[in-house]
Amino acid sequence: MKLILGSGSPRRRELLAQIGVVADDIRPPDIDETPVQAELPRPYCARMAREKALAVEAGPEDIVLSADTTVALGRRIMGKPANAGEAAQFLLAMSGRRHKVITAVAVRRDGQLWERDVVTTVKMKRLSDEELNAYLATGDWQGKAGGYGIQGPAGVLIPWIQGSFTAVVGLPLCETAGLLKAAGYPVYRGDA
C-alpha cells in the first residue's frame, strides 16, 4: 500500500508531516478547475477535491489523498489570482469583511471514495494602502486561493478565525486523519 498525495502544494506536505504522515509519491492531477456556471463555492470545492482524487493514477491498494481550498466571498469564488492586480482586487473586496474558506478532502482506495469538507469563517482587517502594497510586494499571494496565505505574511491581516486553522492553510488535519484511517492507512502508530 502506497499513499499518493494528489497535490503539488508544499503546504499540504508540511501539514501532513506535522502528524507524521509522509506521502510515498506526489502526483498533482491535471484537471480543469474552472467553476461551472452558477456553481456555488462549497459544491465547487467538493467537486474539485473529488475530481482530483479520481484523476490520479494509482494501483487498487494505493490510497490517493487530494484536497481543494476555495475562498468564498458570499457566492463568489475567489480563485488563485493571475497577477498582483487581481490579488489586490480580491484583498480589497475582503478588506474589513468576513469570508469563508472551504477545504474539501477526498481519499480514494480500491474504488471507494471518502470525502469531507470544512468551512472556516475568516475576518480580514480593514487594509490600508500601505498594508495592501506591502503584502503584495512580498509575492506571497501567488498561487494562493483568495490571494493570501494565513500562515505567511498575511497572518497580520487576519484578526480572527472561527473554525479550523489547518483547513485555511490547506488541509484540515483532524478530518484528513479520519478519512485516511477509514481508508485503512495507519495514521496512528498503533494502526499498523
DSSP run (H or E) holding 167: helix 165-169
CA count, 13 A, side-chain hemisphere, 69: 25
Q: Please pick, among 68, 110, 117, 140, the residue that the annotation labels catalytic.
A: 68
What is the grid cell recorded at 28?
498533482
Pairing of strands 3-5, 160-162: unpaired
Give the largest Cα separation in the chain, rounded: 53
Q: What residues contact 91, with CB distance under 8 A and at least 6 apart?
A: 124, 127, 132, 135, 136, 141, 147, 148, 157
Query: Which of 159, 187, 192 is CA-nearest to residue 173?
Result: 187
Q: What residues contact 108, with CB distance under 8 A and at least 6 apart?
A: 53, 54, 56, 58, 63, 64, 66, 114, 183
Q: What residues contact 190, with CB distance under 8 A and at least 6 apart?
A: none
Active-site residue flag, 32: no
Burial group, residue 154, by CB count within 10 angstroms (0-12, 13-18, 19+) = buried
Query: Which are the catalytic amino acids?
Result: 68
